[in-house]
Amino acid sequence: MKEFFTTQFGFSLLLMVVLIGMILTAVAYCILLERKISAWVQDRVGPNRAGPYGLLQPIADGVKFLLKEDIISANVDKALFLLAPGLAFTVAMIGFAVIPWAGTVRLGDSVVAVQVASVDIGLLYILAVGSLSVYGIVLGGWSSNNKFSFHGSMRAAAQMLSYEIPMGLSILVVVMTCGQLRLEDIVAGEAGQMGTTWNVLLHPAAFVILLVTVFAESNRLPFDLAEAEQELIGGYQTEYSSMKMAFFYLGEYVHMITASAFVAVLFLGGWELFPFSDRLGWAWLQWLNHDESIWAMLCRFMVMSGKVGSFIFFFMWIRWTLPRFRFDQLMRLAWRGLVPIGLGLVVMTGFCVYAGQPATPWAPVGDVVIVAMVLLWTVLMKPRATGRQSHLPPVLLDVT
C-alpha cells in the first residue's frame, strides 16, 4: 500500500483528495474573507457573531444554504437547469489538475511531481477548461427561462469571447519566451534555467493583460456584467436558490483560486520565493528551490499558496474598489486596448525569439513602447461616439 502512494499515480490520487479538501475549505473561507474585506473597506466590522471573529460563519452559511427551500420554477428546462450549477462548479474544479504546486518530491526510490496530472499541454488544458466555464453560466441563464437571466448569460458569452483573445495573446508571449507548454517547465524556466527570469519582469504589460482578462473570465468586478445585481437582479443565477446557487458561488471562488494559481505559475515564478534566487547561491534558497525532501516540498507549497492567497486578496481588494464597467466600455477595453497591445507584444517577442534572445533585458522596454504606441493611436483617433450625438435630432422634453 505504501509503495502504491510512492508511484506517480498513487501520489496523484492522494494529492487530488488533499487538494479537493483544501480548496473547498479555502473557498468557504474565501467567502468569509470577501465579506470581511468588503466590510473593512466600508469601515464596518463584518460578520463577527458566529464563533470568534466570525470564523464559524462558513459553516453557518453552508447550513443555511442546505436548509433553504430549493425552488425550481415551473417553466424551466429542468435538465439543463439542474446541470448548469454542477457544470459551473466542476469545470472550475478540474482546472486544478495541471497546476504544479511544489516541483518534485522524492518518496522512497521514486521521484514524483507534486501535481495531479503532469501533462505536456498543461497550458492548453487550462485554456480549454477555462473556456468551458462559460457553459455553466450560459446554460444557467438560458434554462431559467427568464429574460434577465438570459441577458446575463448573453453578456457572459460575449465577454468571455472577447477576453479570451487578449488572454491567449498574453499567454502566447509566455509560451514564446519559455518555449514550453508544460507548466512545471515554465516555472523551472522562470527559476532561471535558460537565462530567463520571472515573466512579470520580462513582460509586465502581458502580465497586466492576463490579470485583467482573468478578472473578466472569472466574472468578478469590475467585469461582473453577467451578474450585475443592480441591473439584472443577479443575472444568470436569479432563478437559483439553495444549494444550487451555492454551487455557482463555489464555482466562482474556485475559478478565482485556479486563475490565481495560473497567473502565479505563468508570471510569478510558481514556487520560487523571489526572482534571481538561484543566482544568489545561498544554501537555504538552493534547498528551497531544488531539494526533493518532503519538507522542502511543503515549503515550496507554502510559497505557492502564499502567492495564490495574495492574488485572492488582490481580487477582493479590486472588487471593492472599482465600479462595474459598462458593456460598451468592456468591449472597447478588450478590442481597442488589450488586443492591440497583446498583438504588439506577440510580434515583439517573435523578434526577440528570432534574434535568439527570448529573455533579453530590453523586453520590458519594448513592452512600454508598445503600450505607449497603442495609447497614442487611441488618443489620435476621433473622439469616441458615446452619449448624445450632435448630428442626431434633438430630444424635446416637454416638462410643464
Partner 1 sequence: MMKDEDIIPIEEPRLTAWDLLYLPQVLQGLKVTLRHLFRKKVTVQYPEQRRDLRVANYRGVHRLNRDEQGRVACVACFMCETACPAHCIHIEGAEAPWPDREKYPVKFDIDELRCIYCGMCEEACPVDAIELTTEFSFVGCTREEMIFDKEKLLEVFDQTRDIKPRKNPPITGYPDVGGPIPRVEDSNANTVEHKENHL
End-to-end CA distance of the chain: 86
Contact between 159 and 226 under an 8 Å Cβ cutoff? The reply is: yes
Instruction: Work out how close the CB of 383 gets to partner 1 at its nearest, in angstroms, rounded to a whole number.
Output: 6
Instruction: Work out how close the CB of 374 gets to partner 1 at its nearest, in angstroms, rounded to a whole number.
Output: 9
What is the number of other CB atoms lying within 10 angstroms of the CB of residue 47? 20
Contact between 119 and 16 under an 8 Å Cβ cutoff? The reply is: no
Task: Identify residue 342 by its one-letter amino acid code.
Answer: G
Report the residue number, 41 or 273, with the smaller CB distance to partner 1. 41
Report the residue number, 11 or 311, with the smaller CB distance to partner 1. 311
Q: Which residue from 298, 312, 355, 282 is spatially nearest to 105, judged by alpha carbons?
A: 298
Q: Which stretches within 268-397 are classed as H helix? A: 277-280, 283-290, 294-319, 327-332, 339-354, 363-380
Report the residue number, 347 or 376, with the smaller CB distance to partner 1. 376
Instruction: Work out how close the CB of 205 gets to partner 1 at its nearest, in angstroms, rounded to a whole number.
Output: 10
Instruction: Work out how close the CB of 359 gets to partner 1 at its nearest, in angstroms, rounded to a whole number.
Output: 24
Report the residue number, 64 or 384, with the smaller CB distance to partner 1. 384
Indicate the Cα dihedral angle 261, 363, 162, 304, nearest 10°: 0
Contact between 210 and 204 under an 8 Å Cβ cutoff? The reply is: no
376's CB contacts (< 8 A; 6+ apart) are: none
Instruction: Work out how close the CB of 57 gets to partner 1 at its nearest, in angstroms, rounded to a whole number.
Output: 16
Report the residue number, 74 or 379, with the smaller CB distance to partner 1. 379
Characterize 338-362 residue by residue with b for buried, 16 or more Cβ atoms within 10 angstroms of its Cβ, and e for exposed: bbbbbbbbbebbeebeeeeebbbee
Interface contacts to partner 1, rule CB under 8 A: 37, 40-45, 208, 317-318, 320-322, 333, 371, 375-376, 378-379, 383, 386-387, 397-400
Report the residue number, 356 or 394, with the smaller CB distance to partner 1. 394
Instruction: Work out how close the CB of 312 gets to partner 1 at its nearest, in angstroms, rounded to a whole number.
Output: 15
Task: Give the separation between CA 298 and CA 281, rounded to whole angstroms.
Answer: 21
Report the residue number, 392 or 399, with the smaller CB distance to partner 1. 399
Instruction: Work out how close the CB of 397 gets to partner 1 at its nearest, in angstroms, rounded to a whole number.
Output: 6
